[in-house]
A and B are shown apart, each in its own frame.
Chain A
């Protein structure tokens, strides 16, 4: 569904992504692992178009999207949930969802606020609350729900567990599994290996903007050497 090949991205003169490559099949949940600054967020921002890669290919559903504007990429059915959530603080829950709303898409069961409130019951109880007056966990749920309103085929989830209480992280894991059950393809960036292990099918480990390991989650569990070398656990 998504194929990234030979992607190079710079911030100023810093070479952040160096020949980055990865592939996700339909319905797959893949996790990008790696320390801070390894290039996980930049990979996601390059895919959604917020950062313009200098060279390389990004194929989404067979279309080249590298260099397209973010809103065009999003309208192709690619959703992005940023690391720091970025909910619209002055807008209510319902208004936040409205901003994310896009027309229905073939092959995606259309998301409505009501369906989202089944997935995240907390949100349903605070429809008129401004995003800025919600806790971190609630904001994370709203950020995901807002992106789902665009009826994406694939979502990029950047560190959804960051800064959340363990018990909330468990709830987040369950929600991601439910989305997977809906057939959604998910690319996840994480540092929390416990969390990633519970939801992902496969993993790509990045270091200094390059892929250093790639394989299934089961292979990663078995590969003690890779875990120690790249993830220091």
Chain B
């Protein structure tokens, strides 16, 4: 009993901070239909800017409040710049490209923040009034936390009034439902969108600044907050403010108690809550089914086998790849081996994402599961590489089947976010369960057997596996199963009406993709001699997406080209600049705005244009 009340209050205070960030995310999503990955970065900027402002002001409470307000204004302004410079250009691009663009912004802001404020954490010196306590039921409770508890409901109330009692709010809600129609009725949606984005960014900034007294400004805020905010928004129901509030309470309280009761599996606990909610309410607590997109949908191009010229080109490339070890040195052989791993990584994601229509934001999870399966088998049983390479896809496939049970019921953004959350869990397990996974130190000593240890032989093995996986996946896509999978994606209604089992088709796609990806994880680990939690990080998952989207979703060749281009690009970048995040982020944003159909898609279009003209 002693610890329940303070723990509950801590949870409620945490819930308020969560709500501030999640509310901005959900409002922005509601109107722009963009899941703003960079929302956590805005909160991080709020913390840093807040720190810079508040530490320069006198230490009295009224100056603190002024500092907070100035921070909110500053982040809102940054939001405006972001909206005008980046988002405005991608409103018409496909959903995933938008997500990718905002991830590019995350990378850029990370390096910008590092460059301005440095790598050291910045704690806010706390004056006496900020350290005050209030006695509640015999427990001393920080007064500041009580203040935070109040902020949540107050902000919710203000937002509700803004949305339901003002013309601006009515227009925003109308634009949430049908932006084109709002424009046709004479409303300037550009200003509307910009103002919505400013509001959301301001809320994130508020969350960041208010978190300062209890935490510090640091560079990890962006990705940790965005994961929590995604969970809250998904549990609450996309676009629902009240839902986000309820979900913040739920998650905040569970987090507070989880840290005390089951410190190691807090993340797993949150994931379970999310899973339970989504099983019973596939659109979140207060969410409603996503209406069909109102934009004029461009008919998907018909998938046809590649032209003969392209096949010849592919065969030629394969020949070059096979003789490459006789030409290039060891360093480039490692890069080429990485490229083979990337090909499997990307084609497996393409399989579920392109024909399957399930965009995964946590594809690295399967990569990691495969890697750890091989690593643990080696550690426990001394299993050699061939066994490891066999066990990896098996393990990843089995986990994919378990996870798939409820994930295939979801669609669109919900599915993407759930896969992201799942990957974060796998990451947390690999990071926190030190006894088994070695934690941050990873599992070491995972080498190929002697006969395969030369870079040349190992490269050939990787190449053979990559080609085999790509061909097998392609084969399945042109077989009845692949057609049925595509049918379920094109029109689930029609697919059911001709008797197809949509859920099972998608489930099998997930298992196949997971298994193939698991193989790439194990292969990679044998090449590097170790396994680390970073294999499962968000950036790694995004790499897979980048490869697929660079190459384009429409063709089987797409992910292969994307994997090769990306591996080459990343190699050049990492070797040539310290600000590789900034450059990579900028490149992503530029690519998304320039080639919304991917490299292969653009090439195909140019090719066709040449043919038919």
B184 in contact with A74 (CB, 8 Å):
yes
Central interface residue in A69, A74, A96, by most chain B CB within 10 Å = A74
- Which stretch from B3-11, B168-176, B394-402 is at the chain A interface? B168-176
A203 to B189, CA, bound (A): 34
In chain B, positions 282-303 with a C-beta closer than 8 Å to chain A are 291, 294, 296, 298
B319 within 8 A of A: no
Asked whether, in the complex, the Cβ of A88 is within 8 Å of the Cβ of B173, the reply is: yes
Q: CA A80 – CA B186 in complex, angstroms?
A: 10
Q: What residues of B have a CB within 8 angstroms of the CB of A11 in the complex?
A: 296, 298
Is B187 part of the binding interface, using a Cβ–Cβ cutoff of 8 Å?
A: yes
Q: Number of B interface residues at 8 Å Cβ cutoff, please give it.
A: 22
| A150: Cβ under 8 A from any B Cβ | yes
Cα distance, A69 to B188, chains bound together (Å)? 9
A44 CB to nearest chain B CB (Å): 10
Contact A82/B186 with A12-B298, A88-B174, A95-B170 known, Cβ cut-off 8 Å: no
Which of A74, A86, A99 lies in contact with B170, CB distance below 8 A? A99
| B184 and A146 contact, CB distance less than 8 A | no
Return the contact of B174 from the options A50, A80, A91 (Cβ within 8 A): A91
Q: Chain B residues near A48: list those with CB within 8 A.
A: 184
The answer to whether A146 and B177 have CB atoms under 8 Å apart is no
Q: Does A139 contact B (CB under 8 A)?
A: no
Q: Confirm or deny: B66 has a beta carbon within 8 angstroms of a beta carbon on chain A.
A: no
**Candidates A69, A75, A89, A147; contact of B177 at CB < 8 Å:** A89
Tell me the minimal C-beta distance from B512 to chain A in angstroms.
33
B74: min CB distance to chain A, Å: 30
Q: How far is the CA of A86 from the CA of B188 in the complex (A)?
A: 18
| Chain A minimum-CB-distance residue to B296 | A11
Are A98 and B167 closer than 8 Å at their CB atoms? yes
**Chain A positions 46-91 with a Cβ under 8 Å from a chain B Cβ:** 48-50, 69-71, 74-75, 80, 82, 86, 88-91
Residues of A within 8 A of B296 (CB): 11
Q: What separation, in Å, do the CA atoms of A80 and B182 have in the docked complex?
A: 11
Output the nearest chain B residue to A131 by Cβ-Cβ distance. Answer: B177
* Inter-subunit contact B174/A69 (CB<8 Å): no
**Pairwise interchain contact A91-B185, C-beta atoms closer than 8 A:** no
Which of A71, A80, A95, A147 has the largest count of B CB atoms less than 10 A from its CB?
A71
- Decide: A98 near B185, CB < 8 A? Known: A50-B180, A89-B177, A91-B177: no
Q: Which residues of B contact A110 (CB under 8 A)?
A: none
Q: Is the interface of B mostly helix, strand, loop or mixed?
A: helix
Tell me the complex Cα distance, A91–B181, Å.
Answer: 14
B185 / chain A contacts, CB cutoff of 8 Å: 71, 74, 80, 99-100, 102, 146-147, 150
B186 touches A98 (CB 8 A): no
Verify A91–B186 contact, CB threshold 8 A.
no
By the criterion CB–CB under 8 Å, are A71 and B174 in contact?
A: no
Contact B186 A75 (CB under 8 A): yes
Contacts of A150 in B (CB 8 A): 185-186
A99 pairs with B182, CB closer than 8 A: yes
Q: Assess the B171–A99 pair: CB atoms within 8 A.
A: yes
Expressed in whole angstroms, the minimum distance between the Cβ of B330 and any Cβ of chain A is 48
Q: How far, in angstroms, from A11 to B180 measured CA to CA in the complex?
A: 17
B181–A82 CB distance below 8 A:
yes
Given A12-B298, A88-B178, A90-B177, CB of A71 within 8 Å of CB of B183: yes
A99's closest neighbor in chain B, by CB?
A: B174
Cβ distance B241 to chain A, nearest Cβ, rounded Å? 13
B170 touches A91 (CB 8 A): yes
A74: chain B residues within 8 A (beta carbon): 183-186
- A86 to B291 Cα, complex, angstroms: 12
**When chains A and B are docked, how far (Å) is the Cα of A61 from the Cα of B339?**
61
Specify which chain B residues have a CB less than 8 angstroms from the CB of A95 in the assembled complex.
170, 173-174
Task: For the complex, give the distance between the alpha carbons of A74 and B182 in Å.
Answer: 10
Q: 13 A-B pairs, CB-CB below 8 angstroms?
A: A69-B183, A71-B184, A74-B183, A88-B174, A88-B181, A89-B177, A90-B173, A91-B173, A91-B177, A99-B174, A102-B186, A147-B185, A150-B186
Chain B interface (Cβ within 8 Å of chain A)? 167, 170-171, 173-174, 176-178, 180-189, 291, 294, 296, 298
| Residues in chain A within 8 A of chain B (CB atoms) | 11-12, 48-50, 69-71, 74-75, 80, 82, 86, 88-91, 95-96, 98-100, 102, 146-147, 150
Q: What are the 10 closest A-B residue pairs judged by CB atoms, nearest first?
A: A74-B186, A70-B183, A99-B174, A86-B181, A88-B174, A80-B184, A75-B186, A88-B177, A71-B188, A100-B185
A-B contact sample (20 more), CB < 8 A, given A71-B187, A91-B174: A49-B184, A50-B180, A69-B183, A69-B188, A70-B180, A70-B183, A71-B184, A71-B186, A74-B184, A82-B181, A88-B173, A88-B174, A88-B178, A90-B177, A91-B173, A98-B167, A99-B171, A99-B174, A99-B187, A100-B186
